[in-house]
Amino acid sequence: MNKTDTGKIQMVVFDWAGTTVDYASSAPSVVFDRVFSEAGIHLTKEEINRPMGMEKRAHIRQLLSCESGSSQWMQVYGRPWSEEDVDRLYEKFEKTLYRVVADYSEPIPGVVETVEKLREQGLKIGSTTGYTSKMMEQVIPRAAQLGYQADCVVTPDVTGAGRPTPFMLLECMRQMNCYPPRTVVKVGDTVVDIAEGKNAGAWSIGILAGSNLLGLSREEYEKMGSEELEKRKSETAEIYRQAGADIVIESIYDLPAAVRELNHRLEMLEKEEIA
């Protein structure tokens, strides 16, 4: 393998909702809230968002397994939840999300320009998601219409496993012929995005603005006092780092600089290996 194969970042793999489209990943949050409320289970926004980024059936299991979810289910139905309940909730979630997700698929500010800059540098653009192929049928055309497209889109139903496993990211690498893993960067807005990258042996970058993990709508972000906002961002950055993030960036506008930093780190690694 020659030096250019190992010495530079070749591909950036983005998450979708909360990273490239749908500021703060609102669509799945809204639909989970609606589906669970109709089932008599009322969860906080924080509880709903905690497993965000996972495959959606796994997300439902997490919500039913949390202390509030499991106790409310027992109270309402007089029995523990079952896989049949997961199936029913998932079916309703998928149908509801399919109807509304296109409306939430506007690219986050800075995405179109940043992706264009990355492509100008010769980088490939991959993507993974917690959405299924069916859900992405609504997202991909709408995002493309508004200026954002990825070179490949890998969903959990393609690999049979979602995050935090590395298999969607590895499938991106296979499709785009990019290796070794250290020449690939995973960019996302949740803890499981970071874990997906690290489990694949790639770099992981967490984004603050527009992220599900920060949990602020665009209006809330813009109106929040600077002191409180900085506190929230600092706490969120620490969660990313604890999950293994190599870099945390303010917004997607900062991504080209972060890629340059990773190229510098790769150069240092190569020098150490030669020495």
Residue of 22, 56, 124, 189 marked active site:
56
Among candidate residues 15, 22, 193, 246, the one labeled active-site is 15
Residue 95 a catalytic site member: no
Nearest residue to 21 (alpha-carbon basis) of 90, 103, 93, 97:
103
Token code pair at residue 107: 């690219």
Chain centroid to Cα 193, Å, comes to: 5
Nearest to 177 by CA among 253, 239, 124: 124
Q: Would you call 15 a catalytic residue per the annotation?
A: yes
- Give catalytic residue positions: 15, 56
